[in-house]
Structure 1
Amino acid sequence: MVQDRSYGGQIATYTYKLSIMSNHELYLQGLEKAKQKDYAGAIANFSQVIQLMPFDAEAYLQRGLAYYDSGQILSAVSDYTEALKIDAKFVEAYYSRALARVALKNLSGALDDVERAINLRGNYAAAYNLRGIVRRKQGFIQDAIASLKQAAELYLQQKDKENCRLCLEQIKQLQPPAKVAVQPQNSITTPIISTKDYFTQLLDKAEKGDTREAIADLNWVLQADPQDAQAYCCRGVVRCKMGNYREAIADFNQALLLKFQDAIVYRNRGKARALLGDHQGAIADFNQALQMQPQDALIYVARGNVYRAMGNYLGAIQDYTQALQIKFDDAQAYYNRGIAHTLLEEMQSAVEDYQRAASIFCEQEDWDNYQQVLNSLQKIQTTYPESKKQKYNLLRQKLLRLVGGYWEIAQRLIDQKQDYYPGKPDEWYLQKVIEDLERDRGR
């Protein structure tokens, strides 16, 4: 390009440079006035810049922001649109117009703009956040949660802890209340966190088998806030679910160090310690939990299960009974007490507890646990149609009645059968003598 070295050309160049300098000064003044909330002044400055430089997309954007902040939403949308006519890849203009369209309740237009912003800049955290807001307003809750989660992750990567926290708060508000999951009947205890918040949903997710995803979510929550004691507790519960008991105990310890003094922590740490074989440590944790929540039936069931594992069946039965005094329809307590009665060979009591547990599970339509109880009941009835001791006593009493209460007579008859049929069980000889007496008397 040939330079114009004439006097007139030099004057024109000088005038152009002055114009650029003047525009820059006006632009900076506009920014300062907007910062001071002098929106009318800012709009005036940006209008002068646009008059002098009609293809300045940034000036349109800034004037649009001033219009938006002053409540002139339609004028703001108009300026953002002009900016995009000049620069079709102006990400901030798409995002700003999306915000304005949300204010105007034009949700489809807002979603279109925010999608364009995300397509142009994949790590635009604010755009994902806004997308979550729009989808929530449109009623697509799961999509909203996914967008807010993406925003939180991006804010975390950008070390913007406050905005990450705000996204998590929005997610908590959107989560529906979690249903209480039925726990396996032989577990020493069950995870306890029942607050209607984000952590509840993570536990529910883990209970359904999505433990890796739940751990990933909790890891980035703790990256955002390493002092979140409840997150450590929640991660400990999930790690228990995964079988990582030592790591779970470390998380529960950290929660306690951060002053999260809650029965939840002691109860779940007790579970982990019990599963590692530290029965005394587990009992200590359950005792601590019961001091804090003496009316929690599940803690009694948990401690009862540890007593049972230690061979203290009477202690276990006492705890299960205490649990049932607090919660009379606790099927798990009935089932576990039935197991303890079985171990003590108190078969009639075991059968009664199993039948009660089966009835409750049936009413709850918990068919897996219902079938498990029926299997246990069938095993007792097959292996022990009656307790051996109980059966022997019943036969003995029947024989006594047949011989008029004189056991010496009964014993002679038994001895005779033993001579004829050596090596038979005691119950067999009693039954044989009874059959002979009843036959002789025509019964």
Structure 2
Amino acid sequence: MSNEFYNQGLEKAKQKDYAGAIAEFNLALQQTPDFPEAYFQRGLAYYDSGAILQAVSDYTEVIKLNPESVEAYYSRALARVALKNLPGALEDVERAIRFNSHYAAAYSLRGMVRRKQGYIHDAIANFKQAAELYLQQKDAENCRLCLERIKQLQPPAKPAVTPANSPAIKITSPKEYFRQLLDKAEKGDTKEAIADLNWVLKADPQDAQAYCCRGVVNCKMGKYQEAIADFNQALKLNFVDAIVYRNRGKARCLLGDYQGAIADFNQALQTEPQDALVYVARGNAYRAMSNYLGAIKDYSQAIQINPEDAQAYYNRGIAHTHLEDMQQAIENYQKAASIFLEKEDWDNYKLVLDSLNKIQKSLPETKQQKYNLLRQRLLRLVGGQWEIAQRLIQQKKDNYPQMPEEWYLQKVITELERDRGV
């Protein structure tokens, strides 16, 4: 009888009839006082109806009956945040994480609590962990929400202030001077860098290094023909360096001269055979020519040289996509996203997430096959009674809204197998 009241309570809660749901859960608990699920669902109904203290009381009862209930700790933490009991909320969410270290929502909640307590660095670290877990769960939307929270917490970059009477660059050597000019261009001040280089070349038209440097800056500005002219001049003046061939190759590639670009990259590799950037650049040229296997070979070589080259993983993922090897593409995208996340390169991180999302949308049959397999597995666990499975899935949907359908199935399967010692 208690199960009947309990199920009626679930149905009323689903219809947002919280008062009716609470009444049904009351009847279920009268029949079975030690019914943790009824306490938990009544707590959710109390919370949704605004009766936060009663919700906390019910979650506490669940914890008494099941001291390892991750959902109860997480839900009580949410309720305590609403009551402004931040120490209590932090204690609860940390217990939830202790029992389930892959609980993305718990890390996100802990980030919110730490932010409210004023511990910004700790909050960012928790949002990063949540984003990483959401990425593994292929939940792009919640991952993006965490990224937005991180961006909101990060302080705006302070512009460098140069005293009016001080020189913009302190020259210690020609090499250092050009390095500082390139740093200036990298920070976005390309016009001033070009002006400085023009002044250098006016003073000494035979300065090959200045031509090379100006070519690099012109590339950053999208002036590829001017860049190639500068690199040509540097080579005429016998400035033979891998950086010249590498950057001239990039400019040629962007102008559509892929064969010329590959020739330049080959020259660069003769000088610097361990330059991962050249392998990535040559891989891009091969990819543009639809030579995807050649591109993958170069990206793999770049990764062998530098296992943390996120761009190489990302580009290799693109090449696998063109070959319709979606599993390999997904693995490469996920690796690239993890590295971009660690480096806090949010623009590239979001770019990779978008690529992952496109793959997921392009594979409806694969997702359907996975869903069907999980559904059959769950049916076996509930003795073929899909009504029971539906109730269990709905409980998870109530507790964890906006998760993928496969996630709910897997969550129910995992808990059933754990309870049965499978």
TM-score (norm 1): 0.45
TM-score (norm 2): 0.47
